[in-house]
């Protein structure tokens, strides 16, 4: 089943690994990537007996590049369509970065029997700086991202990806080949969806959605994340979600799925096995 029908009839590319009768886990990728960014964790979860489902968000990877539908209500409806089409009963949901927003909006919009939730380097609960969210980022940050993409998208992403993985003059936690591969994933996305999603993940307030987190919740976040700083995201979510378990990766950047892939895989396998 390489494609399923999304919320408004669009085509969403789907990957399924592991035991078809195992407990289902749905992986929602970050911006500006696609489902392939989950491969290391998907393999570990499949080897642990899970049925692993990952899909490309609309506009990204191999999914249909629509003109509209990049708001979180529609994206959450796409997630609901994936769960329904795959008959994933009582799934666990794991969202990375922007994908954490889909998890939050799905829970409040669709409810359902979700077994467990994990948020990794997630944008939840709110990134935008406002009077009641003083730790957030200025709106100019997101405007600057859009301007950089419009001016020279490959150049912008080449620089963005280095920060994403914490690459600097001294630190180089991933290979040059990983940087090149990540850039190739980013460039598979359509320009319209790439731009629209900046507004979506940067300016959507998920605080009203947090009441829907009634299941066991794991939060993983790097303390040196410059893409989604931990204070307005991981730590704020952990304070707001009753019983949530926060694991801070000391000195780690945003792109944990690559820089700390074995640790993330082990933490997910342990959490989902409880």
Where in the chain are the domains? 3-273
Mean pLDDT throughout 49-77? Answer: 98
Tens of pLDDT, residue by residue over 96-110, are 999 999 999 999 999
Confidence of residue 169 (pLDDT cuts 50, 70, 90): confident
Per-chain mean pLDDT for the chain: 97
Alpha helices in the chain (DSSP H): 39-47, 72-86, 99-110, 139-164, 176-188, 191-203, 236-240, 256-259, 261-273
Domain 3-273 adopts which CATH fold?
Rossmann fold (3.40.50)
Q: Which residues are designated catalytic?
A: 97, 225, 254
> Which of 64, 130, 48, 50 has the alpha carbon at shortest distance from 93?
50
Phi then psi for 247, rounded to 5 degrees?
A: -115, 115
Strands 11-18 and 3-5 come out as: antiparallel
For residue 1, the model assigns a pLDDT of 59
Model pTM greater than 0.95?
yes
């Amino acid at each position: 089943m390489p494609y399923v029908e999304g919320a408004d009839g669009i085509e969403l590319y789907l990957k399924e690994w592991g035991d078809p009768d195992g407990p289902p886990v749905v992986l929602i990728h970050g911006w500006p990537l696609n489902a392939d960014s989950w491969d290391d964790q998907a393999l570990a979860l499949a080897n642990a007996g899970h049925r692993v489902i990952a899909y490309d968000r609309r506009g990204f990877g191999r999914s249909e590049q629509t003109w509209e539908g990049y708001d979180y209500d529609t994206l959450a409806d796409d997630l609901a369509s994936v769960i329904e089409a795959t008959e994933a009963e009582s799934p666990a949901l794991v969202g990375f970065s922007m994908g954490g927003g889909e998890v939050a909006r799905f829970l409040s919009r669709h409810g359902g029997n979700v077994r467990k939730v994990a948020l990794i380097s997630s944008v939840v609960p709110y990134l935008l700086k406002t009077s009641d969210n003083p730790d957030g980022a200025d709106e100019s940050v997101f405007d600057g991202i859009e301007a950089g993409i419009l001016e020279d998208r490959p150049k912008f992403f080449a620089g963005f990806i280095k920060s994403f993985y914490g690459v600097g003059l001294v630190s180089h936690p991933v290979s040059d080949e990983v940087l090149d591969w990540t850039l190739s994933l980013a460039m598979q996305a359509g320009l319209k969806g790439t731009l629209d999603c900046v507004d979506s993940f940067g300016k959507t307030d998920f605080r009203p959605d947090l009441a829907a987190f009634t299941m066991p919740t794991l939060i993983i976040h790097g303390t040196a994340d410059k893409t989604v700083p931990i204070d307005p995201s991981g730590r704020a979510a952990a304070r707001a979600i009753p019983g949530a378990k926060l694991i801070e990766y000391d000195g780690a950047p945003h792109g944990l799925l690559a820089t700390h892939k074995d640790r993330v895989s082990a933490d997910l396998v342990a959490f989902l096995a409880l």
